[in-house]
Amino acid sequence: MSTLHFRDIHKHYARRTILAGLELCLRTGSCTLLTGENGTGKTTLLRILGGFEKPEQFAADTGHAQLNWRHYRKLLQSSVLYLHQQPYMFEGSVRDNLSFALDRSLPKAEREQRIHTALQWAGLEKIADTRAKTLSGGEYQRVALARAWLRQPRILLLDEPTANMDREARNRTISLLRQLRDDGMALLVASHDPECFSSLVNEHLNLSAGRLQTVTPASRFVNMTLLQQAS
């Protein structure tokens, strides 16, 4: 189990401090839930980890090397996927949007196979050839998640992935995320719906006043998971 350890993340906008020297671990095969009131900085944190927002201070420890912000961005941005709180669809069909996430070197048949699976999983078969920009709110979230699944990053940062989703889509999302986690992906999920993710998370952190507090520690969750697996 490899761990990515972030330390000293500082970020402020104008005179407002959003993140005040925050510390965080991401583990492969583990899902971390991030809660916090509106405007506490969840999105900001995820965007920093995704390489899209520049923090004032930052340190990341891969276990092998200490990385500053520039090195982190250079080395790790390509293995991190950040799913926007409000996802963006490219011009083109849902299918085009999904195929964007696939490696261009894959053979055509393989690509089509994967897209087909993704469409099926997300319940998007019927609207596969609709212009993605015209989709409904929940469909947006689904396509974005399917796109993330196709991309298969090492670290997946999800910003309110289930907002706007109906009940069934939420359940499917949870089971997809569980599968990804068990395949060894590191997940970090920001959400206002902790119950929804309770069966999935290994660690629950709450962001407030620029720092993280552990709500449920990793250890307890790990035990729970082991117990679940045992049973």
Partner 1 sequence: MDALIDASLKALHLLFSGDMALWEIVGISFRVSLLALLIATPPAVLLAFVLAYGNFPGRRLIIALFSTLLSVPTVVIGLTLYLILSRQGPLGEWHLLFTQNAMIIGQIALAFPMLVSIGHSALQAADRRAWETARTLGASHLRALLTIIYEVRFGLLAAVLASFGRIISEVGASMMLGGNILHHTRNIPTAIALETSKGEFAQGIALGMVLLVMAATLNVLLHHFQGKGFVGS
Ligand X SMILES: Nc1ncnc2c1ncn2[C@@H]1O[C@H](COP(=O)(O)OP(=O)(O)OP(=O)(O)O)[C@@H](O)[C@H]1O
Question: What beta strand segments (E) does the chain contain?
Answer: 3-13, 16-27, 30-36, 57-61, 66-67, 80-83, 155-159, 186-190, 203-208, 211-216
Residue 26 or residue 225: which is nearer to ligand X going by CB?
A: 26
Which residue's beta carbon is nearest to the bound ligand X? 138
Tokens standing for residue 62: 């891969």
Determine which residue in the list 16, 133, 192, 220 makes contact with partner 1, applying CB under 8 A: 133
134 binds partner 1 (CB under 8 A): yes
- Regarding 43 and contact with its own copies (CB under 8 A), the answer is yes
DSSP class of residue 86?
S
Residue with tokens 């499917």: 172
Gap between the Cα atoms of 97 and 101, Å rounded: 7
142 binds, among its own copies, ligand X, partner 1, none (CB under 5 to 8 A by kind): its own copies
* CA distance to 111, 127, 136, per residue, from 124 (Å): 17, 5, 12
Confirm or reject binding of residue 69 to partner 1 (CB under 8 A).
no
Residues that bind partner 1 (CB under 8 A): 50-52, 77-78, 80-84, 86-88, 90-91, 100-101, 103, 133-134, 147, 151, 153
Instruction: Write out the residues near its own copies by the rule CB under 8 A.
Output: 13, 36-39, 42-43, 85-86, 127, 134-139, 142, 159-160, 163-169, 192
